[in-house]
Amino acid sequence: MPLEALNDFVVKFANVNGSGSASANSMFAKAILRMGVPVAARNIFPSNIQGLPTWFEVRVTEAGHLGRRGGVDLMVAMNPQTWDRDVAEIEPGGYLFYDSTKPLPASKFRDDITVVGVPLTAMCNAAYQLPRERQLFKNIIYVGALAALLDIEIGVIEQLLAEQFAGKDRLIAANVAALHMGRDYVAEHLSPLRLKVRRADKVGDRIFVEGNAAAALGAVYGGATVCAWYPITPSTSLAEAFTGYCEDLRIDPETGKARYAIVQAEDEIASIGVVVGAGWNGARAFTATSGPGVSLMTEFIGLSYFAEIPAVIFDVQRGGPSTGMPTRTQQADLLAAAYAGHGDTKHPLLLPADPGECFEMGAQAFDLADRLQTTVFVMLDLDIGMNEWLTKPFEWDDDRKLDRGKVLGYDELEAGVEFGRYLEVDGDGIPYRTYPGAHPTKGGYFTRGTSRNPYARYSEEGAVYVGNMERLLRKFDTARRLVPSPVLRSATRSTREGVIYFGSSTPAVHEALGSLEHAGLHLDALRVRGFPFADEIFEFIAAHDRVFVIEQNRDAQLRTLLINEGEIDPSRLTAVLHYDGTPITARFITETVTRLMSERTPMPEAAE
């Protein structure tokens, strides 16, 4: 029986990298959004430029489930290289769309799916002369065909084409013609599928944007003026988006000059060096990188901790260790980031769950770095960073002030305020600082990574060193109150079991919680948004007999951090781990938690 679904199915495009399919696929997703139906779209791509397989998965979800569901209902198989596994991935009763120009033996198909062939290559060869045109328009033709098969409004796609090629009327006309070619073929030769898109009103004012772009925009609004970076997937587009936004938003209208400085450095060490130098000198500065970059930056991160210099690092996590899976997603840098450095170090982490939070935390990170005078990490991952997500619109309060932290300027120094660069003054562990050049005779100090007394003078005296390290702990405790607090999502009925999760796992977790509840499994849920951990997190753990910690890495890094920082009995925290490089799915979470809950009945006192 062919699958039947309205506004709730998964389409996967199997393409050849470099064939120009990305923009056509993205247009397909956006057309459905414009019809008021939420989509979750994800690129799945290998580490190469041209010729190898790449996939694009679109989940059409009127219910608004933005995580991956798992499984494929309609496969758009445009890559002969991956044909067999693509066909195998289709759900029973699902659909296969393919280029039927060249006949394929029956053995290449399955008899439990519906096969839809459109002779795309033949149509292109008949209509176009140039090889590049044949290639690019083929993508638009299949979008037109799919629109007809799935009932997507063709006018919406025409509008998107008009916006994309605004001012280039010839291109618009050519693309619309190709779109119609696909649509008309289906109308003449085929009938629509039982998978349908129907106009709804479930998107609202939400926007569709990549987390990297959102974080970059957050850095613009957060007042970052210096960016130093080194290209590394999946963080590159963050620095590039920052460049683009600055060119639009940060030019002095009178002089045409830049109110920002961006340096593509020679490596990640130089990137963080530039950031530390700029932070030392009173500019808001950041770098964007991924796991291997964090490894290289570690010495400087330790310096930033000990010499107390603001810095912001956007870590867009990918699969490790080593080069690992550079184009696959993981949440596997938590431990490396939290404790980066030699000696005793720890650093605040912000854990955004979607591009909306990438923007908010991207801006907030600079206030926190200045306030705490230390490195602050914003932990994205490839899934949030490089995929467009449907997210709440960006918001900004024009009355918001940048928090520059504890800085003594000329007037305070001139008035004789006592200045000790590492002197505890207010009991929060945070000392005052001065910017270089502030005052001719007061406020100068020598910054070093070696031990020094509260007045920044070199000292190897044990008590002086210990006093300083204890103050740094007090400062970290202050950070606990400043990082974003966790978000509680209570079960509909009282339960002794809970889940803790963070970041890009969030939509899949929420969907799974719904399914579990439907099956009678009730779990309270707490989303962690910052490190050091707020007290509520440990209270949540204490209030439940068993807590599942869901994350996308092998070694249960969040769980490890929780156990370590909260001195938690490890048996209270059950790891649920997904780390094959693909984004975690609701199905995986539902199945794993169901299995774990059935394997061990809750402790007697948990019974209601």
Partner 1 sequence: MTYITKPQLHHPQLKPNALGYTRRDYEGAVSTLCAGCGHDSISSAIIQACYELDLPPHRVAKLSGIGCSSKTPDYFLGNSHGFNTVHGRMPSVLTGANLANRDLIYLGVSGDGDSASIGLGQFAHSIRRGVNMLYIVENNGVYGLTKGQFSATSDKGSKSKKGVVNHDAGIDLVSLALQMGATFVARSFSGDKNQLVPLIKAALSHKGAAFIDCISPCVQFNNHAGSTKSYDYVREHNEAVNRMDLVPARSAITIDYAPGETVPVAQHDGSVLHLHKLAEHYDPSDRVGALAYLQARQALGEIVTGLLFLDPGARDLHENLGTVDVPLNTLSERELGPGAAALAKINASLR
Residue 433's φ and ψ, nearest 5 degrees, are: -130, 165
Q: How far is the CB of 60 from partner 1 (least distance, A)?
A: 17
The smaller minimum CB distance to partner 1, of residues 342 and 493, is found at 342
Neighbours of 79 (CB within 10 A): 19
Q: Residue 38 is encoded by which pair of tokens?
A: 């939420």
Q: How far is the CB of 302 from partner 1 (least distance, A)?
A: 9
In terms of CB distance, is 31 or 562 closer to partner 1? Answer: 31
Minimal CA–CA distance to 33: which of 71, 66, 72?
66
Write down the least CB distance from residue 256 to partner 1, Å.
Answer: 8
Whose Cβ is closer to partner 1: residue 298's or residue 560's? 298
Residue 121 or 243: which CB sits closer to partner 1?
243
* Cβ-based neighbour number of residue 170 at 10 Å: 8
| Residue 137 or 242 having the CB closest to partner 1 | 242
Which CB sits closer to partner 1, 271 or 345? 271
Distance CA 86, CA 291 (A): 31
Shortest spacing between CB 523 and partner 1, in angstroms: 34
Least distance from partner 1 to the Cβ atom of residue 355, Å? 9
Q: Which helix (H) or strand (E) holds 305?
A: helix 291-307
C-beta separation of 489 from 510 below 8 A: yes
Least distance from partner 1 to the Cβ atom of residue 425, Å: 20
Going 197 to 201 to 205 to 211, the CA torsion angle's sign is: negative
Instruction: Give the residues across from 333 on adjacent strands.
Output: none
Residue with tokens 């084409």: 161
Q: How far is the CB of 361 from partner 1 (least distance, A)?
A: 16
Q: Closest Cα partner for 553 from 352, 336, 353?
A: 336
Q: Work out how close the CB of 277 gets to partner 1 at its nearest, in angstroms, rounded to a whole number.
A: 3
Which residue, 460 or 599, has its beta carbon nearer to partner 1? Answer: 460
What's the closest the beta carbon of residue 400 comes to partner 1, in angstroms?
Answer: 8
Q: Please, are residues 422 and 471 in contact by the beta-carbon 8 Å criterion? A: yes
Q: Tell the smallest beta-carbon distance from residue 419 to partner 1 (Å).
A: 12
Nearer to partner 1, 94 or 211 (CB): 211
CA 18 to CA 358: how far, in whole Å?
Answer: 29
Q: In whole angstroms, how large is the CA radius of gyration of the chain?
A: 27
Rounded to the nearest angstrom, the gap between the alpha carbon of residue 497 and the centroid of all alpha carbons in its chain is: 28
Choice between 185 and 221, CB closer to partner 1: 221
CB of 447 to partner 1, least distance (A): 4
Cα dihedral 597, 603, 606, 608, rounded to 10, equals 90
Contact 219, 227 (CB under 8 A): yes
Strands (DSSP E) found in 215-277: 226-229, 261-264
Nearer to partner 1, 88 or 402 (CB): 402
Compute how many other C-beta atoms are within 10 angstroms of the C-beta atom of residue 160: 20
Handedness of CA 88, 68, 9, 519 (dihedral sign): positive
Question: What is the H or E stretch that residue 505 is in?
Answer: none
Query: Of the candidates 177, 188, 123, which has an alpha carbon nearest to the alpha carbon of residue 154?
Result: 177
Angstrom distance (rounded) from CA 351 to CA 539: 20
Identify which of residues 115 and 407 has a Cβ nearer to partner 1 in the complex. Answer: 407
